[in-house]
Amino acid sequence: NEKLRQLQVNAMKCLLLLIGQCDCPDSHFSFNIDDLVLVGDSFATFLPGISLAMSRIISGDVKQGHLVTIYAIKVWYKTVGLVMADEHLVKDTCGKKMLSTEQSKLAKLIVNRTPEWVKSTGSKLDILLEKICNCTASNMHWKTRLELIELVNHLLPRCNKSFKESIGRLLEVLVGLIGDERPEVQTRCSQVLRSVSEKCIMSENKAFADVLSENLHSLTTSLPRLMRTLDDQGKLSTLRLLLGYLKLLGYKINVVLNSTAHLGRLSKALLQILEMDVTDVRIVEERRVASEVEPLQSPTELSNSNCLTKWIKPATQRKYFKYFNAEHIFALLQQICRVLGYYGNLYLLVDHFMELYQESVVYRKQAAFVINELLFGAIGIDVEVLSERETSVSIDDLKAIVTSIIEEYTSIENWHLVTSTNSECETSLKTNQPRLEDFASGSHSSYLCSTSQNLTVQDMNSNIWQICIQLEGIGYFAHVLKTEFRLLLMITLYPVLEKAGDETLFISQTAARTLVELCQACDYESLQ
């Protein structure tokens, strides 16, 4: 309850000195392993009081200053690391203590660090650790977050058996801070993560990748619920955590992806998060403007600009999602998909998301978006990783994958969709038109461009966005294959030109940009 900050700090420094863990520049004394065991035995009695007091300070008012919080964190993990160290618990000193204090009134105060005591204490400390991690990971001062990394670095290698219930939580801290805004925190976090992953073995001989896989599976299970209920900051932290797990797993992500349960959880979570908001009536209304005036930037104007001489990251229509709208959350989701494409088995991922694409119109837009980003990540474009992958995807494999995706995108049922009440689709097919029930159910055996009299504005908006995302995908694929994409112009150029003349403004503008991207990728000087 002391209000004087310097006195608080000095008191905590004194505690560190008593346990032989002070950070003074001059060495006061040196302990061997037996000495440390004796000190740990002595302070085991005071562990509940010290750990509770420090956790209250750590979760206290931010007005106390970051220095007080940092020293409270330091005392907490230094004391816990001393008393709960796996190496110290092996040495049994209980017998000697009980003999010497058997007749003493102080005997009842002696704590015997038995396996039962260690298990019980570890469970109680895990509750405090959760509280400490939750309030410190989001602390505004970067030095406090940096000290949290030191807590993990101190406890994880020393107490992975006695603290086995907390391993997932400790790893979660590192993974969550890998994308911290401060470079000092990012750098230190990367160093600790690399050190931990190199040791590979966690408690009970469980592989490091297995622990990460379990945490990843648990996170993807709760991800849709979290994205619906959390605020933007919470969503950002959750997605950073997911991205961190994928980066940490690296090429070992394929072990996770080969599990049907893991892949299903991850893919459905991504598709639910990326569900788009298609209620904006302006998307349909803007086609009226497009039919009366020229598009803002026609293909001819684009071809005369400097954008054909140097590749620029493809511009896309601003998308609005059901569960978020912040651009930085969208950028994180793009990174997640690209990291998957970089490390993962591309054939497996594309096949899986293409199945979801074909499964239902509910998933189609999101699945197409993920597929586009997977291909971008596969060649390492604008993707941030911690380690290099084992093998890269060959150009022949990429060409085969891209060809199959484009054929699916430009098929009649996915390309000629109803985008207005007087859509050309209504008159282009006079015979064998399917029922609207087939369209609503996502059937692929019939044409989707049937009569539109019962379609809502949301249905037409959804179709517009699907076509735009598929057009953006074709532009992405061109940059993936570069000049090799020239061989695919036979199957892509006419469909894209057709959409460039579409009366829906969103579609025509997206198609115009796609044409420019085709020119850039294929190394043509102009659209003409």
Q: Tokens in use for 333?
A: 């989701």
Query: pLDDT tens, position by position, for the chain (528 residues)?
Result: 677 888 989 999 999 988 887 777 666 667 777 888 888 888 888 999 999 999 999 988 878 888 999 999 999 999 999 999 888 776 654 444 544 545 556 666 778 888 888 889 989 999 999 999 988 988 889 999 999 999 999 998 888 788 877 887 888 888 888 878 889 998 999 888 878 766 654 444 456 677 788 888 888 889 889 888 888 888 888 888 898 888 888 888 998 899 998 999 999 999 999 999 888 766 666 653 444 434 434 444 444 445 444 445 555 678 889 888 889 899 999 999 999 999 999 999 999 999 999 998 889 999 999 999 999 999 988 888 877 888 889 999 999 999 999 999 999 999 999 887 665 444 344 334 444 344 444 444 344 444 445 778 888 889 999 999 999 999 999 999 999 999 999 999 999 999 998 888 889 999 999 999 999 999 888 776
What pLDDT does 505 receive? 86
Q: How many C-alpha atoms does 480 have within 13 Å on its Cβ side? A: 32
> What count of residues does the chain have?
528
d(CA 339, CA 244): 10
pLDDT value for 108 = 67
Mention every residue, 6+ apart, whose C-beta is less than 8 A from residue 120: none
Rounded to whole angstroms, the Cα distance separating 216 from 239 reads 11
Burial of residue 390 (number of CB atoms within 10 Å: 0-12, 13-18, 19+): exposed
**To the nearest 10°, the Cα dihedral for 422, 428, 433, 434?**
-60
Helix (H) or strand (E) holding 101: helix 94-101
Q: Is residue 379 a contact partner of residue 398, using CB atoms and an 8 Å limit?
A: yes
CA angle, corner 307, sides to 301 and 339, nearest 5?
130
Neighbours of 19 (CB within 10 A): 21
Going by the DSSP 8-state scheme, the letter that residue 252 receives in this structure is G
Q: What is the pLDDT of residue 28?
A: 62
90 - beta bridge partners?
Answer: none
pLDDT on residue 518: 93
User: Which pLDDT score, from 0 to 100, does residue 60 have?
Assistant: 85
Task: Choose among 492, 455, 448: nearest CA to 473.
Answer: 492
What pLDDT was estimated at residue 281? 67
CA dihedral sign, ordered 315, 240, 394, 414: negative
Residue type, position 304, single letter = N
Question: Which distant-in-sequence residues (6+ apart) come within 8 Å of 520 by Cβ?
Answer: 307, 308, 311, 478, 479
Please give the Cα distance from 74 to 52 (Å, whole number): 14
Instruction: Specify the 3-state DSSP secondary structure of 201.
Output: strand
CA angle 228/234/240 to nearest 5° reads 105
Distances (CA, A) of 465 to 316, 415, 457: 11, 11, 12
